[in-house]
Amino acid sequence: MPNTISGFSKLSKSDKIEWLLDTYFNDKTNARALVKGYWNTDDKLQKLHDEFIENTITNYYLPLGVAPNFLINGSHYTIPMAIEESSVVAAASKAAKFWLERGGFKAEVLSTEKIGQVHFMFLGDFKKLQIFFNYVKPKLISETATITKSMERRGGGILDIELRDKSEDVPNYYQLHATFETMDAMGANFINTCLEQFATTLKYEASTYEAFDAKEKDITVIMSILSNYVPQCLVRAEVSCKIKELKSKDIPHPEEFAQKFKQAVSIAEIEPYRAVTHNKGIMNGIDAVVLATGNDFRAVEAGVHAYAAKEGTYSSLTHCTVENGVFRFWIEIPLALGTVGGLTSIHPLVKFALEMLQKPSARDLMQIVAVAGLAQNFGAVKSLTTTGIQEGHMKMHLMNILNQFEATEAEKTKLIEHFKTNVVTHSLVVEAIETLRK
């Protein structure tokens, strides 16, 4: 096959680029200029970025925006958001301003437990395995002492280890199900290192355990890995006010708005087709802040969507009540985040973002991120139940369309003015550009 290569990772960055250009590009000069055009001019900074991952050829930029005017538990925040989607930052900012005048957001961390598991096969009687586990559990903990020492000094460590019987689902399958507190670190490396030591201890102790027969001594560890499902690492954020206080320029009838908003959320609670899009809007806000602060948005996404389906059907992450003249809107969501370790201490813009957030603890960041998701959802549902989502979204998308067609600054000025009073669609923008150019 002509497009395969051996030893690619051992090539220099320049040689990697040249191979790609030779193999896939007709216009190598422009392609090379594009790749190099996204390099940092500071060689030291570029080297830092090159070493984040493997086979780096250049940098892929996302805009870093900010959403000001967030009032959370009485403190003011400007929230950093790294995202490419039009209208997300604008919607968050608008929601923040709306609730700033109505008491702001309240948030609290409900729990911070994280999970890791050793998955293993055991050919024997579960009762004997349970007795063995009770015997070996203190050794599992003591033999990780050198690993947990530093974390324990900060108030974290191993909280508990359970033996779980999963043999009805998969024959001979069992788990060591461990819970951890990792404080301000996301803790993936810490948890996985502990789990691998658990596995080593488990196998050795089983091989020398006198009450086991030969088959029982031969425990097979399948894998040792943390879980990104963290239903006990929970944060809650909410807003509330008297219904009459919802009145604003775009909410002339607050009672009607409150009821319609609640009904929209209720639909997302029972209709999975709507819930997925509803929750995607929440994740627009959450992912943008998670990414800006150097955390793992893929892990957060996986855990959040699993939590949304915890009752057996996929449902809304936000909830709303309209009772006794009061409008309440809230989110309860699992978020495993860190403010130390990983990119948080080496990526310059992550450090910048965390300083902007007043150097939060992991618990503080959980609250900020949950609020960002709630604000995003409020903005989206508010638009859907009033003006419709497309009016604001397409206005924000206008600039992307103009850039796609390489509009000049003079053309942009005229077309932006034109679409202040006209509907924005892709076809209408293209038509307006063509008309202007004629």
Which of 232-241, 271-280, 335-344, 371-380 is predicted least confidently? 335-344
Residues 6+ apart with CB under 8 A from 94: 379
Which of 1-5, 90-94, 422-426 is predicted least confidently? 1-5
Alpha carbons 236 and 367: distance in angstroms, whole number: 7
Domain layout of the chain by residue ranges? 8-50, 65-109+235-387, 114-227, 393-437
Query: Whole-prediction pTM value?
Result: 0.89
Scanning 386-425, the segments in alpha helix (DSSP H) are 389-404, 409-418
Residue 279 has pLDDT above 70, yes or no: yes
Residue type, 378: F
What mean pLDDT comes out for the span 410-416? 87
Catalytic machinery residues: 85, 280, 296, 393
Residue 406: predicted pLDDT: 87
Alpha carbons 225 and 215: distance in angstroms, whole number: 25
Residue 393 has pLDDT above 60, yes or no: no
What mean pLDDT comes out for the span 143-164? 97
What confidence tier does 1 reach under pLDDT thresholds 50, 70, 90? very low
CATH number of 114-227: 3.30.70.420
Residue whose C-alpha is closest to residue 179's, from 147, 155, 157: 157
What mean pLDDT comes out for the span 112-121? 98
Residue 313: predicted pLDDT: 98
Residue 152: predicted pLDDT: 97
What confidence tier does 2 reach under pLDDT thresholds 50, 70, 90? low
Residue 347 has pLDDT above 60, yes or no: yes
Q: Describe the crossing of helices 297-308 and 272-292 by its angle, rounded to 10 degrees.
A: 150
What mean pLDDT comes out for the span 298-325? 98
What mean pLDDT comes out for the span 148-173? 97
Question: Cβ(377)–Cβ(406) under 8 Å?
Answer: no
Per-residue pLDDT tens over the stretch 209-228: 999 999 999 999 999 999 99
| Class of the CATH domain delimited by 65-109+235-387 | alpha beta
CATH topology match: 65-109+235-387 vs 114-227? no
What confidence tier does 392 reach under pLDDT thresholds 50, 70, 90? low
Residue 390 has pLDDT above 70, yes or no: no
